[in-house]
């Protein structure tokens, strides 16, 4: 998996940071999909400066209905249609997301030429298939706001081909059955159990992507043990009370959550426009005093998971 940050500013854009959006490239071996999380104003312009193609967007997850996370959505949907994309798109978001999208399209005389599904979510599993599960939980913000936990299914262990050949199993189609853990019967009557020749399953990747939030219990549960946590750090530690009063977190609080949840890596984003490059360096330093493996997101930065 790979994350591409399209916007990392809080509330309003700056000269160097657009408002919130990021894209998750699943990099799955059998399907080419991009999942977007939030779509602040100007997101489609940010996409134009990357290799990510809107036509490959399969899902858009909206954390909450504040404008800096949402106002880019109607334009992106229309441009995707005008470009001739026919691939289906599903939007997941809090109650009200359907009304926002449908009203924006209706009163502007716009439409989509591709299948568009809008799912208004509630806490729990919002999507699951044979490769991924996405779980949502409510966070602590003035409007209904969600964080998402994305879990990749465990991958089968490697097949010990050399041991199978040594056991007299002919190389060929039987290997595929054994790779799936099935049993096969050889010409000499012996039964070979594939599970006996597989290494342990490889754990799938896990990541958590949060909307805006002040500290809360659900955040810890969503982030527990993930490979990567994307968390807001709107203000510095000295302004923690102000951050919390508006449903946001400080640098220290984001880093404390990463530490307590035992995540592997923390990416902080949603930085207040009050901070210039020097201020951002200070924010990162504050995080690293609590959780060393922290990175401050920048627009167009990519992070492998």
* Residue 165, CA distances (Å) to 75, 110, 174, 277 in order: 57, 61, 11, 60
**196: annotated active-site residue:** no
- From the list 25, 38, 68, 299, the catalytic residue is 68
**Cα 261 from Cα 26, distance rounded (Å):** 24
- How many other CB atoms sit within 10 Å of the CB of residue 204? 16
Counting beta carbons within 10 angstroms of the beta carbon of residue 86, is it exposed (0 to 12), middle (13 to 18) or buried (19 or more)? exposed
* Residue 141, CA distances (Å) to 215, 245, 273, 296 in order: 10, 9, 19, 22
Q: Which residues are annotated as a binding site for Zn(2+)?
A: 64, 66, 68-69, 141, 212, 270
Catalytic residues: 68
């Amino acid at each position: 998996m790979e994350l591409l940050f399209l916007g990392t500013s809080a509330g309003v854009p700056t000269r160097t940071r657009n408002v919130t959006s990021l894209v998750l490239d699943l990099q799955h071996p059998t399907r080419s999909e991009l999942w977007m999380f939030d779509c602040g104003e100007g997101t489609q312009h940010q996409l134009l400066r990357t290799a990510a193609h809107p036509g490959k967007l399969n899902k858009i997850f909206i954390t909450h209905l504040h404008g800096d996370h949402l106002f880019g959505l109607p334009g992106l949907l229309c441009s995707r249609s005008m470009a001739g994309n026919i691939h289906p798109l599903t939007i997941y978001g809090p109650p009200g997301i359907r009304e926002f999208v449908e009203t924006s399209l209706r009163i502007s005389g716009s439409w989509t030429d591709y299948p568009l599904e809008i799912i208004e979510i509630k806490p729990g599993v919002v999507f699951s298939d044979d490769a991924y599960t996405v779980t949502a939980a409510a966070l602590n913000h003035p409007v209904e706001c969600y964080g998402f936990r994305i879990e990749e299914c465990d991958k089968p262990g490697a097949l010990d081909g050399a041991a199978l050949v040594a056991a007299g199993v002919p190389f060929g189609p039987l290997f595929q059955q054994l790779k799936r853990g099935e049993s096969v019967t050889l010409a000499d009557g012996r039964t070979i159990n594939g599970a006996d020749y597989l290494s342990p399953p490889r754990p799938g990747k896990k990541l958590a992507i949060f909307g805006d939030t002040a500290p809360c219990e659900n955040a810890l549960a969503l982030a527990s043990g993930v490979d990567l946590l994307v968390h807001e750090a709107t203000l510095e530690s000295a302004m923690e009370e102000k951050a919390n009063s508006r449903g946001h977190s400080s640098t220290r609080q984001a880093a404390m959550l990463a530490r307590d949840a035992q995540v592997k890596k923390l990416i902080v984003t949603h930085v207040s426009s009050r901070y210039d490059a020097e201020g951002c360096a200070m924010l990162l330093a504050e995080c690293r005093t609590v959780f060393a493996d922290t990175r401050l997101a920048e627009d167009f930065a990519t992070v492998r998971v």
